[in-house]
Structure 1
């Protein structure tokens, strides 16, 4: 059994022991005493402690979860799912950060502006939760989430799912535009969590070798409605750890790509007539497709299906320059030798196929 699965198995067993104590007394006091004896600096056990805290502190929410006049979406996100997700992500060393409150991905915003170039006041999708990898002041999306109240109509659920599927495609596309090794590209996926009250579903999107973007439901997570239901959370706890692991894998793809570029750029000398051997882009780059964005005015008759202006349709099969790569180690004239052998000027935002120093 590998280390990760052993960790999961041990953690689930401890949850079962605490659930039995909660059920015997209908309170968390004995479970907390047991937890304090074994918790030490074990971050995974602090996730269980967080679950107990939520169940003890948010009784009004759980008792009225179906009453839409009393419970808001923000209640569900901020009091249940956000604390749980944040604590779970801390187990992996806070490689991934959560951002709450209907924010917009910079990548999606730029892509939508290219798609609707003749329209004003363009805004990409606002999502309730964004999962981010941070580097040098820049945000890189590794996942997204939407939340709805327990008693909500099917139209809202379908609308959220439609938004999330496109958002996670954008998450995937940006990763594919950043990584270089073939294996990294094949391992890249966009991940989302769709929340409805105390239930959440995790869906992943990947690009297959035929050029199809495929959405794959992975699992559901049911948060317990009371301490008496804690024993039923064993599968949910395993799945919440799995979701965090998937997000961290995406963050590590970015981390690896950025570190690779830094190492390569640090080896470039002043002799611009010599270059390292080019590393071709991975095979999925040529298969990527543009995302469809709903018109900002809400009128679908203004939809753009001719994506000639979008980044995906006008690029050639090679990784796009990243913000870090554009700025790092530019020479005194502002030129940077890119991974694909082209030259990029980070101030003029132009690219040359050959060296600017060649006649």
Structure 2
């Protein structure tokens, strides 16, 4: 392709490339570091993960545009390979840039106006005031600690820009959990309890774990009222429509349960289930009964595994291979997109991220017992991660959960770089202890604050009575998870349907960058043996690009359509995000719109 033709193509691509000025160079001069430097010049707030996503997207655009140019294609593939290898040069580059990001985060924290802070406190207090039974908050052992080490630059304290506030707190939730985590990190030379370590690792990974309601968890950082307020804020965001069993399946279960209750003949009911499967036309109905068959086999044949503690000396592998592997494999047996990967496998992306923090050789990230994997162009995306334990021994369960939430966060970061904004990106966390299973979900809603929310818990029934009472709920829980994982997988691999479009440079091939990519933060990884633990480079977020190039306070930026709102007459936001303005209208902080009437009045 001639230089004139290349110039014309790049001009056409200008609006779709994230850093169009850089690609004007001769393609032989293109480098990963060069792109990052140019991107930082344009947007000083860009982070490593955001920059990587933009770089990959630009390469996709170039590959499509120059499909017939072998030299450019070869260069693009070389750049892709360099990015995957994550060399020490790239790690050093972002290590140096992280200091600039921290300074920008500091500027962001100092830019908050008194009016904005007052509005946020009022918004939080209004929820509490609507509940007359709420008493004065009690202090917890981590709050107002005189020995607390607060992250700072030149003596000024850093804050997170999540803008999530609870009543009676001047700090955002993200700031609170991260400052406490940094404080605990300073004490890693001394012995931390298992729960203190989980508070540290979650906070340093920007994770608020609402699935752990134990009093020694992150809950200890808040009052009971504040913790309840956080649940009220996020529980609704994790609501998922529950799977409903077909009538044929419900009828079959009714017959099976009553037959077992009458005769306790497992062989008889298993024959009935298999015969019923042959008559069903719905694949999901057949799948439901196949799972019932798996559970009945365990209940009938492996009673010793259903006792706690077990009468025999059993291992974690015994529980997984006998109980959970048949269920999970059956659940995704006919899946076109998802397969179950067991046996302490490692996500390559997590290893790559850890290598950018620690320079030690033979770096490996989290070893996960079971992963629900989506393959896309030789890259593995985790839609769910799981750990298996042989008993609910406290420390082991806490360690597993702390590891799973961080692995789920890494999985979510990968998915956010792949899918568009309107896709539900819930990552499932599965934790089994013996014959019991707990399911939680991790997602990212606010800037720099990942949330974990518990969804379901169940146990494999030990008796006929337990089977009768719980089997429908167990099926609905498992099939709900399957449906949501399959839905996410279909979005991840959707580009496969447009591979032919590459040859014709069709617009449908390129996906848009998910704006939540800018919300992402780095993960805390356990240091290799003999290496000092490091706080993630990108722990506190910088201000948005708009804030860097403007002196306008964020309080104004957040109210683009609400210039008429008089702060002095606002009585705080109600539960639905509404507050009344001076002229009697209602402003909603979520939609950023003003209406004449409150919809709940």
CA shift, 1:154, in A, is 1.0
Q: Which has the higher strand share?
A: 1
Cα deviation, 1:17-68, whole Å, max 9, x if unaligned, reads 21221222223123123213311162322221222222233233235x4138
Corresponding residue of 2:380 = 139
* RMSD of aligned alpha carbons: 2.9
Corresponding residue of 2:266 = 28
Correspondent of 2:453 among 195, 203, 216: 216
Q: Which has the higher contact order (CA 8 A, sep 6+)?
A: 2
Q: 1:287 to 1:68 in 2, by over 3 A?
A: farther
1:173-252 correspondence runs (5 A)? 173-179=413-419, 181-184=420-423, 187-231=424-468, 232-252=470-490
Farther-moved stretch of structure 1 (8-17 vs 120-129): 8-17
- 8 A Cα contact 1:96 1:131, kept in partner: yes
- 8 A Cα contact 2:266 2:296, kept in partner: yes
SS at match of 1:115: coil
- 8 A Cα contact 2:385 2:428, kept in partner: yes
**Distance across 1 between alignment mates of 2:530 and 2:309:** 30
Q: 1:277 to 1:169 in 2, by over 3 A?
A: closer
Q: 1:4 to 1:305 in 2, by over 3 A?
A: closer
SS at match of 2:388: strand
Correspondent of 1:95 among 337, 341, 350: 337
TM-score in terms of structure 1 length: 0.74
CA shift, 1:279, in A, is 6.1
* Pairing 1:72–2:309 present: no
* Pairing 1:167–2:407 present: yes
Cα deviation, 1:89-108, whole Å, max 9, x if unaligned, reads 23x63532111111101111
- 8 A Cα contact 2:440 2:453, kept in partner: yes
Corresponding residue of 1:47 = 291
* Pairing 1:57–2:301 present: yes
Q: 1:160 to 1:298 in 2, by over 3 A?
A: farther
- 8 A Cα contact 1:22 1:228, kept in partner: no
**Distance across 1 between alignment mates of 2:435 and 2:270:** 23
TM-score in terms of structure 2 length: 0.45
Corresponding residue of 1:153 = 393
Q: 1:56 to 1:235 in 2, by over 3 A?
A: same
- 8 A Cα contact 2:304 2:312, kept in partner: no
- 8 A Cα contact 2:495 2:509, kept in partner: no
**Distance across 1 between alignment mates of 2:294 and 2:472:** 15
**Distance across 2 between alignment mates of 1:131 and 1:280:** 25
Q: 1:95 to 1:18 in 2, by over 3 A?
A: farther
**Distance across 2 between alignment mates of 1:276 and 1:237:** 38
Task: Structure 2 unaligned segments of length 5 or more: list them.
Answer: 1-240, 281-285, 546-601
- 8 A Cα contact 1:68 1:149, kept in partner: no
CA shift, 1:69, in A, is 6.2
SS at match of 1:131: strand
**Distance across 2 between alignment mates of 1:278 and 1:178:** 10
SS at match of 1:284: helix
Task: Structure 1 unaligned segments of length 5 or more: list them.
Answer: 270-274, 317-359
